[in-house]
Structure 1
Amino acid sequence: MHPLIKFLLFHVLLCLGQNAFGNEIINGHKAEKNTMQYMAYLKEKGTCGGFLISEDFVMTAAHCAGLKKVILGTHNLKNFDRNMIYNVQKECIHPDYINYTEGNDIMLLKLSRKAQLGENIKLIKIPTYPRFLKPNQMCTVAGWGLTKTAGHTADELQVVDVPVIDLKECQTQWHLPPKVICAGGYGTNKGTCNGDSGGPLVCAGVAVGVVSYGGKTCDYPARPDVYTDISKFLPWINDILKKQTC
């Protein structure tokens, strides 16, 4: 197919696509310009979020597998050009992933070319050692998903502050898989919704979690939102980053 036709077709899909994958942000606000330049938008036959952890790799949720296009460098999905579109060269799905309810919902995407780091595209740090998050610690989550149940997706990146929820308390609401973090949704009217899966939970400037799943609706307060705990997967992540493949 001619490159121009591919590019135009991608734009059509972007406008028409539905959020077939996972969790937009509820009761948040537009992300400020020149912030969160690590955010990635994953697109093809569905949508997800992600975040850039190296020039070559985007981190996201394993249940977002199959999305072959990544957009970097914009908060507004109506304002990007072909140079911001990156193809996915390889999907590195965690080998123990079965489905999101059983955990290990994490994936690294090898980009077909290095991200052009600069003013609009930056990396975010991930943990270098296992971390313990305190209950009620405030973190942020961002995405382009639904802004209300059965609503519309956002063209502009949305962000919201969410409190960390004690895992024992979270366990009373979910049959939790191992290696997860709970934050938002429960006891608050803020959290994630369809289309936010794969985005980062950011605490003190470090991406500590990957949006995995939440309640069936985005009407909060509700059950807590569940995130994959990145710090529990560091050997696997570091091995891929070192070898540049999986």
Structure 2
Amino acid sequence: VLPQPRGRILGGREARPHLRPHMASLQLDGEHICGGFLIAEQWVLTLPHCPQLEEKAELNEHVQVLPFQREQRDVAAGTVCEVAGWGTVTHSGRRPDRLQQVERPVLSRDECNHRTRHDHSITPNMMCTDSRKRDTCKGDSGGPLVCNGVAEAVVTAGSRVCGNYKKPGIYTRIAPYAAWIDRVMGALSGQEDTP
């Protein structure tokens, strides 16, 4: 049995260098595990199973933080958002050396929850994008879905078939967790200042 590819930006294209200075490749023993993005010098927002930063990133022209959504409102259906990652780019598992990106339109939660799609499994804390031929998959997990310059959600691909229009891309919305993220960053930053 062949292992499942860790994921891929299907039907995307190479991202121009340094245009996404917030993107992070989280690696274990030099192997890409998942994506993420800088929200502060020492904080990468990603998924729980991904490694975290051990030291602060040095912010400069090519390394920058990305603002994330704090307001509790859904992105309008049809809004075209961007997503990027280093997941595999072919079904044979080939990994890209360079960051790949793709633009996808947002689907309404009702449409995504249709019984022929994700059948009412998409909660208010989740959102979806169209997955017809161009899509994200596991290796892209943890990366941001960016709409109008703001990170709205995090790629949470799960075990769905990538690139199948009947199984839209799934993301975890950030706004419901914004206060918690701020508390965690504030609490741990405060610990660093104590002798």
TM-score for both structures, normalised by structure 1: 0.68
Aligned partner of 2:183 in structure 1 is: 239
Query: Does 2:83 match 1:141?
Result: yes
When residues 244 and 194 of structure 1 are mapped into structure 2, their CA distance, relative to the original with a 3 A threshold, is: same
* 2:129 alignment partner, one of 183, 207, 211: 183
* 1:154 alignment partner, one of 96, 104, 108: 96
Aligned partner of 2:47 in structure 1 is: 61
Q: CA deviation at 1:20?
A: 7.5
User: Does the Cα contact within 8 Å between 1:25 and 1:142 map onto a contact in 2?
Assistant: yes
Structure 1 gap segments, 5+ residues each: 1-17, 68-108
Deviation readout 1:146-174 (Å, 9 max, x if unpaired): 21334312111000000101001111111
Query: Does 2:8 match 1:29?
Result: no
Q: How does 1:62-211 map to 2 (within 5 A)?
A: 62=48, 64-65=49-50, 67=51, 109=52, 111-172=53-114, 173-174=117-118, 175-185=121-131, 188-211=132-155
- Residue 145 of structure 1: SS of its match in structure 2? coil
Structure 2 gap segments, 5+ residues each: none
Greater Cα offset, 140-149 or 210-219: 210-219
Kindly report structure 1 stretches of 4+ aligned residues shifted beyond 3 Å. 18-21
Q: Give me the identity figure in percent.
A: 34
Q: CA deviation at 1:129?
A: 1.8
When residues 229 and 60 of structure 1 are mapped into structure 2, their CA distance, relative to the original with a 3 A threshold, is: same
Q: What is the root-mean-square deviation in Å for CA atoms of aligned residues? A: 2.2
Partner letter of residue 78 of structure 2?
A: N
In 2: Cα distance, 1:177 partner to 1:153 partner: 32
Q: CA deviation at 1:221?
A: 2.7
Q: CA deviation at 1:194?
A: 2.9
In 2: Cα distance, 1:160 partner to 1:42 partner: 20
User: Does the Cα contact within 8 Å between 1:215 and 1:225 map onto a contact in 2?
Assistant: no
In 2: Cα distance, 1:242 partner to 1:19 partner: 38
Aligned partner of 2:170 in structure 1 is: 226
Deviation readout 1:166-220 (Å, 9 max, x if unpaired): 00111111122440011131xx221102310101000000011100025633243
- Residue 112 of structure 2: SS of its match in structure 1? helix
User: Does the Cα contact within 8 Å between 2:138 and 2:157 map onto a contact in 1?
Assistant: no
User: Does the Cα contact within 8 Å between 1:149 and 1:218 map onto a contact in 2?
Assistant: no
User: Does the Cα contact within 8 Å between 1:19 and 1:195 map onto a contact in 2?
Assistant: no
Partner letter of residue 90 of structure 2?
A: K
Aligned residues: 182
In 1: Cα distance, 2:42 partner to 2:142 partner: 17
In 2: Cα distance, 1:182 partner to 1:215 partner: 15
Deviation readout 1:37-68 (Å, 9 max, x if unpaired): 10000111761000000001000012x34x3x
TM-score for both structures, normalised by structure 2: 0.85
User: Does the Cα contact within 8 Å between 2:160 and 2:167 map onto a contact in 1?
Assistant: no
Partner letter of residue 24 of structure 1?
A: R
In 2: Cα distance, 1:182 partner to 1:128 partner: 18
